[in-house]
Amino acid sequence: MNESSCRIGFAFTGSFCTFAAAMSTLEAVKARFGDVTPIVSEASGTLDTRFGNAADWRREMERICQKPIIDTLQKAEPIGPKKLLDALVICPCTGNTLGKLANGITDSTVTLAAKAHLRNGRPLILAVSTNDALAGAAKNIGVLLDKKHTFFVPFRQDDPTGKPTSLVADFSLVPDTVAAALEGQQIQPMVLGPKA
């Protein structure tokens, strides 16, 4: 598949502490693939936090993508029937979002976008960022590892001593993970060692 002709969805969920890194990743995906549509969950699209204001993040997403944000269920639903995307990235992907995806719950803009997209048999790429990945969310990661058309950005423990159950994807690997997923391949290794 010609990368420059691919249409990529890039969805943000509420791991606000990783938004700055995710925004840089959005820029890298836009630079590589060209056509990128921003998508936000209700929380990530509306909540001001100590990591930044929602309006500022939204402006930056739209500036990078040069497209309006998909931020409602009504806007997300046509992704499936109109086959709007070749791949969908969720970056960051929270434990809450993992749980919903693993259990078929589509009550948010991002999870409905994922459901609509997956009905077309196209790749869904997850960039995990959650403090309970090796605890409560572990079973959901296991379920999603076994789901067809679902791929993971390689991840590692980000603070094994301070947060022993936390995993964060290496966002710098998102573009390569997307490229591999478009060819039906999971980039390897998926589980990374400690950051140097």
**Residues 22 and 12: beta-carbon distance below 8 Å:** yes
Mean pLDDT of the chain: 96
The Cα 145–Cα 151 span in angstroms is 7
Mean predicted confidence (pLDDT) in 37-54: 95
Q: How far apart are CA 90 and CA 159, in angstroms?
A: 22
Q: What is the pLDDT of residue 195?
A: 84
* Max CA distance (Å), the chain: 46
pLDDT number for residue 78: 97
3-class DSSP state of 148: coil
Q: Specify the pLDDT at position 3.
A: 86
Predicted confidence (pLDDT) at residue 196 exceeds the cutoff of 80: no
pLDDT tens digit sequence for 147-190: 999 999 999 999 999 999 999 999 999 999 999 999 999 999 99
How much is the pLDDT for 1?
65
Q: Could you report the per-residue pLDDT of 88-109, keeping only the tens digit for each?
A: 999 999 999 999 999 999 999 9
When pLDDT is averaged across residues 38-65 and rounded to a whole number, the result is 96
Give the C-alpha separation, 42 to 108, whole Å: 7
4 pLDDT tier (thresholds 50, 70, 90) = confident
Q: What are phi and psi of 172, to 5 degrees?
A: -65, -20
Element containing residue 140 per DSSP (H, E): helix 138-145
Read off the pLDDT of each residue in 17-42 and give the average, rounded to a whole number: 96
